[in-house]
Amino acid sequence: MLKLSSPLSRRRSVATVSRRAAAALAGCVLAMAVMVSAAGAAAAKPKHPVLAFTPSPYDFGLVTTGQSALQTLTLANSGGSASGAITVTLSGPAAFTVVADTCAGTSLGPGKSCSVMVQFTAGVGTSTATLRATAKKSGTTAVVALTGTGVSAHLYWATTVDGSIDEANLDGSSPQAIIAGQDSPFGVAVDSSHLYWADTIPGTITQANLDGSNPQEIVTGQVGACGVAVDTSHLYWSDAGSAIAATGTIWEANLDGSNPQVIVTGQNFPCGVAVDGSHLYWADVEGAAIMQANLDGSNPHVIVVVANKGTPSGVAVDSSHLYWTDVLNGTIGEANLDGSNPQAIVTLQDDPTGVAVDSSHLYWSDAAGDIPGNGTIWEANLDGSNPQVITTGQNGPRGVAVGPQ
């Protein structure tokens, strides 16, 4: 006799088959996904070595004639096998030189990198060069085009009594006000395209073109803006704060003034500010000290206690030394970048306030007690020898900067 299954049994059988089919389909999809992923990974990472520099290309930008700029270029192997021994060559004018190289003679494995540091010393006009890394055994090459432009340098300074930003040639000749109508400008900084200055009483940071045109406030609402510094990506400035102790701050913002934020707090009347590739430096006026912190403001600490309980004001930094003015003791001080071996290298000044440095000279202002016409701009060799007045007749000069015209 034929035995018929019930409708419920048939539904259960159909459900079982459906589940098995779904599971089988899912397994096929997963297997295909793994195969596609593996194929994609294999396609993304070739078996042979692949070398490339970053950044590439690289433009050193505008650099003051006679000054130097450094850039580290990273060479990475994104391929699937070792490169073999690498040869590094730099072709172009003598303005470009390799000053450090961890790549030459190295075989880079997959995912490994090395670096080459190139220095550009500016002449007149634009120069170009080519940095090349070649792994002869594997036939792999990486190339980066380098560009740099030399421009003439000028001195810039703030004049508080006149409410102006002034400019002169590096030898102090042809001084002139390029910006007027400011309230109490103090700190000055310059990069390849703009001037920046801190105006203390209105509490602003202002930006203008190098010729003084198109001045505009880019930061407002500060209590007592004093010093200002600039690097390739950020502005830094000090706010002296109120008369209450430990209300001074160090700030950071983008070059257009956007995203201003406090990065150091609890300071006692911070004023002059300087920056290099790894640290910030500033003068602690009330604490008679020079301070240092990382670029993000972390780890602020004293690196120089100014002699004789002096009054530090301006700060400048080059590749090997830190410099500061001491208003009370009438000196220009110098120390190593970690603050060691501090010493006075210029003495017998009246009222030294701002200071700047280039590859061969120091420059500083002497406010001379703000007596009209008695203020001066000075120059000396980097060791403080041969100090001499290069500009006279100033009315309360303050912060000083050196940069392109």
Query: What CATH number does the domain containing 389 carry?
Result: 2.120.10.30
**208 & 348 share domain:** yes
**256 & 400 share domain:** yes
**282 & 198 share domain:** yes
**298 & 326 share domain:** yes
Of 235, 236, 160, nearest to 199 by C-alpha is: 160
**248 & 370 share domain:** yes
Single out the residue in 114, 135, 150 at which a domain terminates. Answer: 150
Number of structural domains found in the chain: 2
The predicted pLDDT at position 28 comes to: 41
**100 & 246 share domain:** no
Single out the residue in 106, 133, 150 at which a domain terminates. Answer: 150
**132 & 157 share domain:** no
Q: Which domain holds residue 199?
A: 152-404
Instruction: Locate 275 and state its tokens.
Output: 């920056």
Q: From residue 192, how far is each of 154, 187, 226, 361 by CA, in Å?
A: 12, 17, 22, 19
Q: What is the tens place of the pLDDT at every residue in 351-393?
A: 999 999 988 899 999 999 999 999 999 999 999 999 999 999 9
Answer whether residue 7 shows pLDDT above 80: no
Give the number of C-alpha atoms closer than 13 A to the C-alpha of residue 282, restricted to the C-beta side.
35
Contact present, 316 and 325 (Cβ < 8 Å)? no
Answer whether residue 54 shows pLDDT above 50: yes
Q: What is the pTM of this model?
A: 0.70
**160 & 140 share domain:** no
Q: For residue 355, what are the β-bridge partners?
A: 364
**212 & 135 share domain:** no
Instruction: Locate 343 and state its tokens.
Output: 């010493």
**145 & 159 share domain:** no
The predicted pLDDT at position 166 comes to: 98
More confident residue, 404 or 400: 400
**342 & 257 share domain:** yes
Answer whether residue 60 shows pLDDT above 60: yes
**188 & 307 share domain:** yes
Distance separating alpha carbons of residues 182 and 158, to the nearest angstrom: 10
